[in-house]
Amino acid sequence: MIPWFVKISVKLVLSRLPISRPFLNRIGIFRHGSMVEPDYAWEIFERHLKLAGVRLQGKSVLELGPGDSVGNGIIAFAMGAERSVLIDAGDWASKSLEGYRRFVDWLCDHLPEQDRLKSARRDWATFEDMLSTYRISYLTEGLGSMRKLPADCIDYCFSEAVLEHVRVDDFSETMRQLRRIVIDGAVGSHVIDYKDHLQLGLNNMRFSRRVWESDCFTRSGFYTNRLRHPDIVDAFRAAGFDVVSDQPVLWDALPPSACGIHPELRRYTADELRIREASIVVRPR
């Protein structure tokens, strides 16, 4: 396994070279998830639906952080959604029309009663044409895109290992905007990964806030906001949500990297640090 400090050094260098991010994505340096694979995307999508206990017929769906694919918008269409809005902090999604045709083929073969999906046209001429076919809005300005959405326009929202990537200074505002754009009866399902995205421990907590939140680090492909589970829950509540389901997953014991936590972050208890991921279901208060 490549040491965490080597990964930081390599990504700091690569992020400043004149190499396109899509190319680095393709070779696995700056990947944004695995949603381009239909079986994986469906597994994640279905898990969130079960956690939230929702049916999508006629509803408006919001995904935060679709990553390398807009495939979840196609799944939402297949499940009867009226439309889907996919918001990311950059234009990371694949534009391969052939890849999305394979994605649709897999869904038609593996999901029951797919008359709606099968009857939709597949002779898209462009990526935008494909988005229009499945009633997908793909927005790539992060918090700025959320601010442009009208109030009370979303029935169901979900995110998979995304909220930990929202910059800490933007987190509270992101939660407020999310509350603004969902209807009163909406439901949200969110999986948060609290592990560092370097060596799956707590190595991201070794740094001072000044260093970790610097532009140098936040733009280099390994940033996580280092908020712990109580912070996330408090932010949802402060924005006007009730947490109706909270399922944390713990390390059996704190990883060795916990010994190197920076003094600024030592306010967390051992029990709080042991939460390595969590599934949260929220509803507007």
Q: Do you know the residue count of the chain?
A: 285
Q: What's the pLDDT score for residue 192? A: 98
Model-wide pTM > 0.75: yes
Predicted confidence (pLDDT) per residue in 84-111, tens digit: 999 999 999 999 999 999 999 999 999 9
pLDDT confidence band for 8 (50 / 70 / 90): confident
Predicted confidence (pLDDT) per residue in 262-278, tens digit: 999 999 999 999 999 99
Sketch out the chain's domains with CATH numbers.
4-284 (3.40.50.150)
